[in-house]
Amino acid sequence: MAEGRLQWHPAFSAALHIELEDDLNNLYIEEEHILGEKPMQILITKELSKKENYWLQSLRNNLKAGTEVQELLGRYEKKKHGAYYPELMDLIVHANWKLMKEEKEMCEALRELFADELKESREEGLESGLKQGLQNGLELAKNMFRMFRAGASPEEIAEECGLPVEQVREMLE
């Protein structure tokens, strides 16, 4: 995407809302009502510290590879469903398109490098989960048959075990 075509003002407004989120009850951000082609202007009534303006300082097209991009992505991951974050991140990604693409390719290369370890971990997890599921199923079946021998009805067993009555009846047949 060509840099000259990026609309920075809507993302800037989104970043302001994010940065001032805790103070929005005491502040009012008045955005210009656009009547023509001129970009919007915004009036801010609070000075921001370096800690507070993380998202504002990220509104640029020269992010640094590695730690800076990873921190940005980590912060976004935690808030990606919040108001304003998707709009802001969309612009940051487009403004740093080449870098973001390289970071993505590096992540994919790392996944390939560790593919065997990931596959082993996944298989171990599945095996462990299967064993645990079988153990839980056996315990549930034992409890059902113990209750049945003690005279409990299928309805009582179903309620106690958290199962549908029809499923309990099928298992007891």
What is the residue range of 168's domain?
116-172
Domain boundary among 74, 92, 113: 113
Do 98 and 128 belong to one domain?
Answer: no
- Which residue bears the tokens 């487009």? 94
Do 46 and 18 belong to one domain?
Answer: yes
Sign, CA torsion 122/128/134/140? negative
pTM for the full predicted model: 0.49
Q: What is the pLDDT of residue 152?
A: 92
Do 46 and 122 belong to one domain?
Answer: no
Do 22 and 76 belong to one domain?
Answer: yes
User: Which bin fits 66, alpha (ψ -120 to 50), beta or left (φ > 0)?
Assistant: left
Instruction: Determine the straight-line distance between the first and last CA of the chain, rounded to whole angstroms.
Output: 66
Do 121 and 92 belong to one domain?
Answer: no
- Give how many domains the chain has, as a whole number: 2
- Which residue bears the tokens 């921001």? 48
Do 109 and 86 belong to one domain?
Answer: yes
Do 96 and 141 belong to one domain?
Answer: no
Residue 172: CB atoms within 10 Å? 12
Mean pLDDT of 116-145: 87
Helix axis angle, 97-113 to 115-149, nearest 10° = 70
- The Cα 144–Cα 146 span in angstroms is 5
- The Cα 165–Cα 82 span in angstroms is 42
- The Cα 74–Cα 68 span in angstroms is 10
Domain boundary among 87, 113, 139: 113
Residue 163 predicted with pLDDT over 80: yes
pLDDT in tens, 60-114: 999 998 889 888 888 988 988 888 899 899 999 999 999 988 888 877 776 777 7
pLDDT in tens, 8-58: 878 888 888 888 888 777 777 777 666 666 666 666 556 656 676 788 889
Do 10 and 93 belong to one domain?
Answer: yes
Do 107 and 123 belong to one domain?
Answer: no
DSSP reduced 3-state for 31: strand
Helix ranges (H only) for the chain are 8-19, 54-57, 67-79, 85-95, 97-113, 115-149, 154-161, 165-172
Do 95 and 120 belong to one domain?
Answer: no
Domain boundary among 97, 113, 129: 113
Q: What is the pLDDT of residue 62?
A: 94
The answer to whether 63 touches 69, Cβ cutoff 8 Å, is yes
Q: Nearest CA to 18 among 53, 67, 49? A: 53
The answer to whether 69 touches 105, Cβ cutoff 8 Å, is no
Do 95 and 15 belong to one domain?
Answer: yes
- Which residue bears the tokens 């645990």? 132
Do 75 and 53 belong to one domain?
Answer: yes
